[in-house]
Amino acid sequence: MIMDSKNSKKALKKSPKQKVLSVFKTILMYGLIFALIYTAVNWWRQPVMPANPQLQLTDYKGQAVDLAALSEKPTLIYFWGTWCPICRVTSPTIDKLAAADNYPVVTIAIKSGSDQELHTYMSEHNYRFTTVNDQEGEIFADWQGQVTPSYVILKDGKMTQGLTGIQLEWSLKLRLWLSSIQT
């Protein structure tokens, strides 16, 4: 059976509905691939809780910070640096979470200079979150941190989640809430 060229072109044309469905399938496929790759990379780069973590710390102002006492509720630990360009995007979100006071938030500034330099940076950006100055990067290294920003959620002295990269406020709130309902 031989078709003429007019009929074969008609048979190959997609209807508008088929075009929309094709675009949707493509977006869904690429979205799924992105989610799988993102999850794998995040899992590989996430901090790892040390066998004997240092949970009694001192912030850059000289105040004691006891992570063990805070972790009755899920506590967000945020590893960042004043030198980190991505942290300039994520730190305002962390400040907002800390100000909301729904969950404890402790940040650890990695290799960000002296306490005075860190204080100046915090003041310039109006950050009010509790910050420990990890001048030599020893705390971050103890957690086997690889990238900034990195996040750890602690509950009952144990790490429930580890994350890296840009995290949206709703994502962090959801993760903290999920950690709070886990037994």
Q: Is the pLDDT of residue 6 over 80?
A: no
Do 133 and 93 share a domain, yes or no? yes
How many structural domains are present in the chain? 2
Whether 41 and 67 map to the same domain: the answer is no
Q: Are residues 151 and 93 in the same domain?
A: yes
Confidence of residue 47 (pLDDT cuts 50, 70, 90): confident
CA distance 164 to 145: 9
For residues 98 and 128, is the Cβ–Cβ distance under 8 A?
Answer: yes
Q: Does 8 reside within a domain? A: no
Predicted pLDDT at 46: 75
What is the average pLDDT score of the chain?
A: 87
- Is the same domain home to 94 and 150? yes
Q: Work out the burial of residue 180: count CB atoms within 10 Å of its CB; fewer than 13 is exposed, 13-18 middle, 19 or more buried.
A: middle
Q: Is residue 51 part of a domain?
A: no
Residue 3 lies in a domain: no
Task: Please enumerate in sequence order all residues whose Cβ is within 8 A of that of 115, keeping only pairs 6 or more positions apart, or say none.
Answer: 60, 61, 133
Do residues 135 and 176 share a domain? yes
The whole domain housing 141 covers 56-181
Reported as a pLDDT band with limits 50, 70 and 90, residue 2 is low
Give the C-alpha separation, 134 to 140, whole Å: 8
The residues that bridge with 150 in the sheet, in sequence order, are 79, 164
Question: Is it the case that residue 152 has pLDDT exceeding 60?
Answer: yes
Res. 13 pLDDT band, cuts 50 70 90: confident
How do residues 15-27 score in pLDDT, each as one tens digit?
888 888 888 889 9
For residue 84, being part of any structural domain is answered with yes
CATH number at residue 72: 3.40.30.10
pTM over 0.85: no
Instruction: Please tell me the distance from the alpha carbon of residue 132 to that of residue 109, in angstroms, as a whole number.
Output: 6
Q: Is residue 78 part of a domain?
A: yes
- Give me the helix-helix angle, 169-181 and 85-100, nearest 10°: 50
* Predicted confidence (pLDDT) per residue in 110-149, tens digit: 999 999 999 999 999 999 999 999 999 999 999 988 889 9
Residue 11's pLDDT band (cuts 50, 70, 90): low
Residues 86 and 158 in one domain: yes
**Are residues 19 and 73 located together in one domain of the fold?**
no
> Quick check: 71 pLDDT over 90?
no
Q: For residue 55, what pLDDT is reported?
A: 82
Same domain, yes or no, for 72 and 115? Answer: yes
Please check whether residue 65 lies inside any domain of the structure.
yes
The reply to whether 112 and 31 lie within a common domain is: no
Residues 168 and 117 in one domain: yes
Q: What is the rounded distance in angstroms from the CA atom of residue 91 to the CA atom of residue 125?
A: 9
The whole-number pLDDT of residue 51 equals 67
In a domain, 1, yes or no: no
Under 8 Å between Cβ of 74 and 154: yes
In the predicted model, is pLDDT for residue 7 greater than 60? no
d(CA 37, CA 25): 18
